[in-house]
Amino acid sequence: MKIGLFIPCYMNELYPDVCFDTLKILESLGFDVTYPLSQTCCGQPMANSGCASDVASLAHRFVEIFKEYDYIVAPSASCVAMVREHYESFFKSDDRDFHKVRDSIFEITEFLHDIVKLNTLNLSFPFRVGVHNSCHGHRMLRLASSSELQIPHFSKIKNILNLIDDINLVQLQRDDECCGFGGTFSVTEPEISAAMGNARILDHLGANAEIITGVDMSCLMHMQGLIDKNNQPIKVMHIVQILAKGFA
């Protein structure tokens, strides 16, 4: 399979290690992975700020760049959700390229769980880990069941993490609450954003977690900033930073 690696713009600049770990995992599984150098932002920040015309041009650019790949994989649930759930209004209903891209884009954990069907990992990670379920991944990509829905509990993220030897996934009091980042929300409403982030961190600390993991580096970045500010004894790791340790 030919995979197009989609790297969110802020991760490209701030978290290249997470990007390289994503590439490492995919190549170790034997996939033909290409990173299109012409890729730019998916348009999510503009969409959050109401700049629809800017999103339209970026959406068409994204589809043109990635339409040739069998799958598009990214280490960001929110950016994948942007393409899958919010691009449709910028395309004609019979646009085949758009439909192909929409149907073939996956967040990395989702790809490993649903497409690769990963069932083994040669990895030990003897730490107490709390899973932060980011809003887009949780409620748009359905990476885990939402507490407000009367459906059987499931978590694709935890299913993958449970393949790891010695890992201890802690139980949180509020399993799927927002961290308060919300993209531009954290800029326009910083006090509320910080309060929500601190609440999420305290929930993990209360469960004696040593590490907070998740599928959105934006959420983890937000919480890491608060952790550093408050000098708290916990750190964040994107899920691929954990998983990549099990791949040669």
Query: CATH number, domain at 213?
Result: 3.40.50
Domain boundary residue among 87, 116, 145? 116
**Are 196 and 180 contacting, i.e. CB atoms less than 8 angstroms apart?**
yes
Residue stretches of the chain with pLDDT short of 70? 248
Same domain, 151 and 99: no
Look at the chain and report how many structural domains it folds into. 2
HEC secondary structure over 108-140: HHHHHHHHHCCCCCCCECCCEEEECCCHHHHHC
Residue 214 lies inside a defined structural domain of this protein: yes
Residue at 123 is within a domain: no
CB-side neighbour CA atoms (13 Å) of 199:
15
Contacts of 37 (CB under 8 A, 6+ apart): none
Chain centre to alpha carbon of residue 216: 3
Q: Indicate whether 178 belongs to any domain.
A: yes
Give a yes or no: residue 121 inside a domain: no
Asked whether residue 81 is assigned to any structural domain, the reply reads: yes
Q: Reading across the β-sheet that carries 2-5, which strands appear in turn?
A: 32-34, 2-5, 71-74, 105-107
In the block, tokens 């997470």 appear at: 18
> pLDDT value at position 33?
98
85 & 164 share domain: no
Q: What is the pLDDT of residue 53?
A: 81
Same domain, 99 and 139: no
* Residue 154, token pair as written in the block: 């499931």
Q: Among residues 99, 112, 163, which one has the least CA distance to residue 3? A: 112
Q: Give the separation between CA 12 and CA 7, rounded to whole angstroms.
A: 6
Residue 168: inside a domain: yes
| pLDDT for the residue 182 | 83
Question: Which one, of 69, 74, 1, 88, lies nearest residue 41 by Cα?
Answer: 74
Q: Are residues 148 and 38 in the same domain?
A: no
Q: Quick one: 192 and 85 in the same domain? A: no
What per-residue confidence (pLDDT) applies to 47? 85
Q: Is 213 left (phi over 0), alpha (psi -120 to 50) or beta?
A: beta
What is the phi/psi pair of residue 201, to 5°?
A: -65, -45
Query: Does residue 238 lie in a domain region?
Result: yes
Q: Do 22 and 95 belong together in one domain? A: yes
pLDDT of residue 197: 96
Which of 89, 116, 143 delimits the end of a domain? 116
Q: Which domain holds residue 227?
A: 128-246
| Phi/psi at 106 (5° precision) | -140, 145
Joined together, the tokens standing for residue 216 give 């959105």
